[in-house]
Amino acid sequence: MNKLISSVSLTGLSFFCFSLIFCFFSTPAALAGEVVIAQSQPLVAPNNQIQRLSETINLQKGQEKLQLTLTYYNGSDTAPGFKWLRIASPTMHFVAENQFGGKRSLSIDVTGELTWGGNQLLITAGGQRGSTFSWKLTTNQPSVASLSPSELSPGHSATILGSNFSSDPDANVVMFGSHRARCLSASPDKLIVQVPDYADSSSSKVTVSVAGMEAGSLAATISSYPYLSSLSASWVPPGSQFTIYGEGFSANQSDISVFVGPLQCQIVSVSPTQITVVAPVGYAGEPWGFYQPVRVQVRGVPARNQMTISISQVG
């Protein structure tokens, strides 16, 4: 048998009728750092005849890309196992009772052997009445370790390092505050994401979940896109002052650049919500100074919109 990992004992089985039921939750029986993706209730033989069952393991999309371990339990501390059993699957390795090696459980690495949606198990077993069998599919708990760079801007990429991510980008949900980031690429230990366009200083908490499992959170410093809301005038003479109102500016004048058309403006004063500049004198007497775009950059990040102003001696 390929991919044999380890065996663990099963305790405290509750007895049900001849059926297997799977579910999607973690249980107190899970080992440290282990998440139960799906598990059955015990199959209990109602008589001494051969038992046959077809069962399905269902996975959410993205879970099939995780590191997966399938553990079979033949018997418990309080109930006997089947004397013989056969476990077949269209995608996984065939298992027989001799592979348990006399133990009550057998754990197999089934990474890459399952698909999202349904995965069939065909179980045939023989034993006395009351013999029990069950299974559990687990993965390691996903976790985040670091985020780089430490200062981020909307639209730029960020790298998240950690463990047990899904290699399906869509299965990794990365949130900057209430804004979801686009996952550009994914591997088990690294995610590369695009910072959402509307991320701002309120989006400094970055949370990650993998195929529905929480992986933790990280802190980020976000330089949000500046936004222009209005101008103090729609027309000004060359060399005169006007004020740009908005948000996401800076109290540091060296962080800000303002252009009217192709000409850069002299900055007079700044605050996080307004910028006062001098209209370029290069437009003096030139008719092409009408309806020029006002463009703002803060720490190299362009504002997500522009406004229009006319600069001329004649209004």
How many domains are there within the chain? 3
**Which pLDDT score, from 0 to 100, does residue 250 have?**
87
**CATH number of residue 65's parent domain:** 2.60.120.260
**Which pLDDT score, from 0 to 100, does residue 290 have?**
87
Q: Are residues 150 and 134 in the same domain?
A: no
Check: CB of residue 283 under 8 Å from CB of residue 290: no
**Which pLDDT score, from 0 to 100, does residue 312 have?**
84
**Which pLDDT score, from 0 to 100, does residue 282 have?**
84
Q: Tell me whether residue 271 is in a domain.
A: yes
Identify which of 311, 224, 313, 315 has the alpha carbon closest to the alpha carbon of residue 259: 311
Q: Tell me whether residue 8 is in a domain.
A: no
CA distances from 268 to 86, 242, 257, 265 (A): 82, 10, 11, 9
pLDDT tens by residue, the chain, 315 residues: 333 333 333 333 333 333 333 333 333 333 348 899 999 988 899 999 999 988 899 999 999 999 999 999 999 888 999 999 999 999 898 999 899 888 999 999 999 999 999 999 999 999 999 999 999 999 999 999 999 997 888 888 999 999 999 999 999 999 998 899 999 999 999 999 999 887 876 668 999 999 989 999 999 888 777 889 999 999 999 999 999 999 888 889 999 999 999 999 999 999 989 999 999 988 766 666 889 999 999 888 889 899 999 998 765
Residue at a domain's end among 140, 161, 181: 140
Q: Are residues 48 and 122 in the same domain?
A: yes
Residue at a domain's end among 198, 222, 246: 222
How far does the chain reach from its first CA to its final CA, in angstroms? Answer: 86
**Which pLDDT score, from 0 to 100, does residue 24 have?**
34
Check: CB of residue 25 under 8 Å from CB of residue 3: no
Q: Are residues 122 and 80 in the same domain?
A: yes
CA-atom Rg of the chain in angstroms: 31
Q: Are residues 135 and 39 in the same domain?
A: yes
Q: Are residues 212 and 235 in the same domain?
A: no
Q: Are residues 53 and 130 in the same domain?
A: yes
Residue at a domain's end among 196, 222, 248: 222
Q: Are residues 237 and 301 in the same domain?
A: yes
Q: Tell me whether residue 160 is in a domain.
A: yes
Query: What is the number of residues in the chain?
Result: 315
Q: Tell me whether residue 214 is in a domain.
A: yes
Q: Are residues 231 and 218 in the same domain?
A: no
Q: Tell me whether residue 17 is in a domain.
A: no
**CATH number of residue 163's parent domain:** 2.60.40.10
Identify which of 117, 62, 126 has the alpha carbon closest to the alpha carbon of residue 90: 117
**Which pLDDT score, from 0 to 100, does residue 286 have?**
67
Q: In terms of residue numbers, what domain contains 193?
A: 143-222
Q: Tell me whether residue 132 is in a domain.
A: yes
187-220 in b/e form (b: 16+ CB < 10 A) is ebeebbbbbbeebbeebeebebebbebebeebeb
